[in-house]
Structure 1
């Protein structure tokens, strides 16, 4: 019996040690300004940034002064950083086109990867990344700001509980006044406005949010068809890419409308879900509303201001650590999951094709994420 008690204590102790052990993480690129997020998250104590791969020394030095990391942590290439620091995981903060190269370098070494949204620049890159992740048994996650919104999870829970009946229409709106008007730094603009590096304009930058949320709420169901219309309303600011996009996803029992814009005077990331008996609203990260229909146009409304989600479900890098260390097992079509984001890439590729041809694009009915 003593050996059993000892074994149980050993398991508990090792589990506690794993939970408190910092995740050694490398940063691949600094040109995506979402990179400030990981430097701030490091202060939580869950992760340790052991190396940074960035060829632009001026940019690395500027961020070194802002965030306090030593320039000795900066390496001229990803290969050099991985070899020198041997991280457990890597986060990609370069161009979307570079995501594949990050996985190609990290996966054979058994290093887990998290990329900023979307997963890849196109389905061809995504399929290569998928195969590398499966072959080398690594986690490959995609980070969206909206994944950590308590309001979105309240919507999901309400739908699952049947509080408004089956979902019939989902409207997702994501946008701002445009990267040039926001004064985004030049290193980010250089590739954000380049279709060869970013894959498009607003249709990719903000369209991916709605595709991700729809796939999550529809539990991995692939839409029957995708229809998209784009426009260029600021040609001087965005000469090579669209800055306005509307994407319609058609399912047998529902419809999804994704509105993506670089032309809205007020930034927003929100959604509304229409069921048979009511409507759910995620107005922002913390505000959730539920309206239950009464009569023709009346309703009873519940309005909640939600707390942040519990640790580690409130932060991408704490979550990444928990997944890698086995404290969390993501469901198949969770917002960060590879399976979800393979479907997102199918939707984005179809949306770009539809916008270019003016035709509705039908998708295969198989639910395999790589088909």
Structure 2
């Protein structure tokens, strides 16, 4: 009752002009800017047919060749593009900025956006180093902004179903999780993307970073943010002729008090895959693809297969998710797949995995 009266008193002080401005802002598209367009996913910006609740106000990119390609492909005016990130943010005044450049530049985007009160969404993973991830968290808290990380597997109805099976007690106590991610290799993708995706500094590694991050993200989410006790990893170069600087094969083992997770990340699969197997003391649930799940519960045979409906709007559209978070119409759990706590742990795991692969030793995580 006190809350209602407080709100009523506040409304009395709002002039009609202020109320109209408030209503108009709520109805207007969310103004977003783009920081970098060399990532292979940057074409989603226009290929996904942006909804009416989003407006692209500016695009920052210093690669002139990529800008030319992008402009010609999507028939865009030159005035939309900038070669200075801070200048763009100051001139177009976006509510949010989405990073589609090299992973090691995510920290620069947050450093520029946070003091200006601009929210950020980056492509996975959050950062190339744990130190950068910690700084991003500090900046986000200091300036009161959201920093989200987009993973394709966040859109999957199958992953949500599997997690619900576990949380509802249908799987019993969690014992083993297998996450398999990757494809045949990025060598045939757009050259601007490949140039930094295969760079150990700009990408933070090869397949270990590119696809190992999916498993780390899903497992940390399943565990409600719990960090593993230890990280073990083995990497290999199957194609040093194509990827001379980074690994194209990685296996990461995360050990928890009662649970083990095996992440198989590869640029050497015979086909693209993003699947997860979750085994407990009562049964198992397998997310085969975006909407297909296989389960065997309470020891019953046969195994059952289901095809689920896709996740409802806005969850299959990362831009709409970002817009909803900015406007406050979408509230996410603190340990959601997009949120900072989970994704800082993801980077910590990847850092440990690189160290484990380099030294041949299991890395034990220190308490925070």
1:85 is aligned to 2:92? yes
Out of 335-344 and 314-323, give the one that drifted further: 314-323
Distance, in Å, in 2 between the alignment partners of 1:265 and 1:271 is: 17
Whether 1:96 aligns to 2:66 is: no
Task: Identify which of 225, 237, 249 aligns with 2:254.
Answer: 249
Q: 2:265 aligns with which of 240, 260, 277?
A: 260
Give the drift of 1:329. 2.1
Match of 1:289 among 288, 294, 302: 294
User: Are 1:197 and 2:199 an aligned pair?
Assistant: no
193-202 vs 157-166, greater mean Cα deviation: 157-166
3-state SS in 2 of match to 1:113:
strand
Using the alignment, how far apart are the partners of 1:14 and 1:244 within structure 2?
A: 54
- Paired residues, number: 358
Who is 1:221 aligned against?
A: 226
Greater Cα offset, 310-319 or 105-114 = 310-319
State the distance in 1 between where 2:239 and 2:46 align: 33
The aligned counterpart of 2:63 is 56
Aligned-pair CA distance for 1:55: 1.5
1:160 to 2:167 alignment = yes
Tell me if 1:23 matches 2:30.
yes
1:133 is matched with which residue: 131, 140, 143?
A: 140
For residues 42 and 148 of structure 1, what CA distance do their matches in structure 2 show? 17
Task: State the 1:159 CA deviation.
Answer: 1.0
- What are the superposed Cα offsets for residues 285-310 of structure 1, whole Å, 9 maximum, x if unpaired? 1111211253xxx7233322122211
The 8 Å contact of residues 223 and 363 in structure 1, kept in 2 or not, is answered as yes
Give the TM-score of the pair, scaled to structure 1.
0.91
Cα deviation, residue 79, structure 1 = 1.5
The Cα offsets for residues 254-282 of structure 1, whole Å up to 9 and x where unpaired, read as: 10000000001111000010011211010
Residue in structure 2 matched with residue 177 of structure 1 by the alignment? 184
The CA distance in 2 between the partners of 1:65 and 1:167, in whole Å, is 51
Spell out, residue by residue over 1:4-49, the C-alpha distance to the aligned partner (whole angstroms, 9 max, x if none). Answer: 6x969x9x99997665431100000111011112223452222111
Distance in 1 between the 2:230 and 2:147 partners? 27
Residues 150 and 17 (structure 1), Cα distance of their counterparts in 2 relative to 1, 3 Å cut: farther
Counterpart in 1 of 2:343? 341
- In the aligned structure 2, how far is the partner of 1:275 from the partner of 1:15? 50
Q: Select between 37-46 and 85-94 the one with higher mean Cα deviation.
A: 37-46
Q: Which runs of 5 or more structure 1 residues have no equivalent in the other structure? A: 366-370
Secondary structure at 1:198's aligned position in 2? coil
Q: Secondary structure at the match of 1:72?
A: helix
- With 229-238 and 300-309 compared, the bigger mean Cα shift is at 300-309
Correspondence for 2:127: 120
Matched, 1:36 2:43: yes
Structure 1 residue 73 corresponds to structure 2 residue 80: yes
For residue 107 of structure 1, the aligned residue among 111, 114, 124 is 114
Distance 1:41-1:172 versus aligned 2 partners, 3 A rule: same
Q: CA deviation at 1:317?
A: 1.1
Equivalent position to 2:151, from 144, 151, 167: 144
How far has the Cα of 1:229 moved from its partner?
Answer: 0.4
2:332 is the alignment partner of 1:326:
no
TM score, norm. by length of structure 2: 0.92
Which runs of 5 or more structure 2 residues have no equivalent in the other structure? 1-6
**8 Å CA contact retained: 1:175, 1:264:** yes
Say what the alpha-carbon RMSD is for the aligned residues. 2.2
